[in-house]
């Protein structure tokens, strides 16, 4: 089991929703099972914010961590690889082999950083569509995903209805709420306020006397805030309550007293070793822009006129 790479959009660039274009887009992907002679058993699985192309199995006998959906992809599992040909790819804008902010900008020879164009869920799906066609698949038996992956599955059904036989959206939403957007905004500010963010230009370059410091503290804080949203208040209470962590009494200081604090700190510190801060900025924005059924715009004269006293 290994990740494969292909460079697409070499003849004509990928046109993004922003109007920008990306040429020579490298996509990291993995496949599981065999494509049937009729090419009618392909399933595309789409990952959540921090996912990669590695959805199932182990990359080597020494690997301790399987793919992110290993419980569901494999022989005899729900996505049975004895029957189905399963495709998983890393999203554009990512940091695990697919073209993103940490990739080299061919015009400058340096990592893109914040010069990388803004992306949307629709852009991610168009890149996936090109990969699926490269693999010789004309119609997908199913597109499935959770969280941001569920957004992609829904976008597939909307953009390519004739090429998607079924769609599975898990723990996803047609649009983020104002509270979701607020948490993302604070998370991005935590990253950009990190003294090592350097305007998104923190990547190591040839000739550097020593490795550059990355905005690890800001990214860890962003991930900690995100994990607060992954469980409801009731869920956090049932999982942690007010249980103390590795102590029998309060510290009466700023040490880690509670189990929930320890959990968040662990998730934040682990994340910085496997994810790129710039990718976090771009992917959270792509999730916020997702709104396949926007309400009709009201004409300007339909809005009530504000007066100085109307907000009191």
Record the pTM: 0.91
- The tokens for 145 are 């995903």
62/131: higher pLDDT: 131
Whether residue 235 contacts residue 263, with contact meaning beta carbons closer than 8 Å, is answered with: no
Cα–Cα dist 231/213, whole Å: 32
CATH 1.10.1740.110 domain position(s) in the chain: 176-292
Query: d(Cα 3, Cα 29) in Å, to the nearest integer?
Result: 6
The whole-chain average pLDDT of the chain stands at: 93
pLDDT tens digits along 134-165: 999 999 999 999 999 999 999 999 999 999 99
Model confidence at 64, pLDDT cuts 50, 70, 90, reads: confident
| Per-residue model confidence as pLDDT tens digits over 177-195 | 999 999 999 999 999 999 9
How far is it, in rounded angstroms, from Cα 58 to Cα 1? 6
Tell me if the domain spanning 176-292 has CATH number 1.10.1740.110. yes
Q: Which of 63-67, 141-145, 234-238 has the lowest mean pLDDT?
A: 63-67
At 293, is the pLDDT very low, low, confident or very high (cuts 50, 70, 90)? confident
Identify the pLDDT of residue 84.
98
Residue range 1-172 forms a domain whose CATH class is alpha beta
> What DSSP state is assigned to residue 36?
-
pLDDT of res. 299 = 64
Q: Which residue has the tokens 């990512």?
A: 94
Taking residues 300-312, what's their average pLDDT?
A: 49
Q: What tens digit of pLDDT does each residue of 80-103 get?
A: 999 999 999 999 999 999 999 999
**Phi, psi of 22, rounded to the nearest 5 degrees:** -130, 125
What's the mean pLDDT in 280-295?
A: 94
Mean pLDDT of 254-266: 95
pLDDT at position 300: 59
pLDDT for the residue numbered 137? 97
β-sheet bridge partners, residue 8: 25
Beta-carbon contacts of 300 under 8 Å, excluding residues fewer than 6 positions away, are: none
Query: Which distant-in-sequence residues (6+ apart) come within 8 Å of 189 by Cβ?
Result: none
Please list the residue range(s) of the chain that carry CATH number 3.40.50.1820: 1-172
Distance of alpha carbon 228 from alpha carbon 282, whole angstroms: 20
């Amino acid at each position: 089991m290994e990740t494969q790479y292909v460079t697409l959009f070499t003849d004509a660039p990928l046109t993004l929703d922003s109007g920008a274009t990306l040429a020579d887009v490298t996509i990291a992907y993995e496949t599981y099972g065999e494509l049937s002679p009729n090419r009618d058993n392909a399933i595309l699985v789409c990952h959540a914010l921090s996912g990669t192309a590695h959805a199932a199995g182990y990359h080597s006998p020494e690997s301790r961590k399987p793919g992110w959906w290993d419980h569901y992809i494999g022989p005899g599992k729900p996505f049975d690889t004895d029957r189905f040909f399963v495709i998983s790819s890393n999203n554009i804008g990512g940091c695990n082999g697919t073209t993103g902010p940490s990739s080299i900008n061919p015009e400058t020879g340096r990592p893109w950083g914040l010069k990388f164009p803004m992306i949307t869920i629709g852009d991610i799906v168009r890149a996936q569509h090109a990969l699926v066609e490269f693999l010789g698949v004309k119609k997908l038996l199913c597109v499935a995903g959770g969280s941001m992956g569920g957004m992609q599955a829904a976008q597939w059904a909307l953009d390519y209805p004739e090429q998607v036989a079924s769609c599975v959206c898990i723990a996803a939403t047609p649009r983020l709420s104002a509270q979701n957007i607020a948490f993302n905004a604070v998370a991005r500010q935590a990253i950009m306020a990190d003294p090592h963010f350097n305007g998104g230009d923190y990547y190591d370059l040839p000739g550097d006397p020593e490795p550059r410091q990355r905005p690890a503290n800001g990214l860890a804080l962003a991930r900690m805030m995100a994990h607060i949203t992954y469980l409801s208040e009731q869920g956090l209470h049932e999982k942690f309550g007010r249980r103390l962590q590795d102590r029998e009494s309060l510290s009466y200081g700023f040490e880690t007293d509670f189990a929930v604090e320890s959990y968040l700190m662990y998730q934040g510190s682990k994340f910085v070793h496997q994810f790129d801060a710039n990718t976090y900025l771009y992917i959270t924005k792509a999730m916020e822009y997702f709104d396949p059924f926007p309400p009709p715009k009201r004409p300007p004269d339909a809005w009530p006129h504000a007066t100085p006293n109307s907000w009191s």
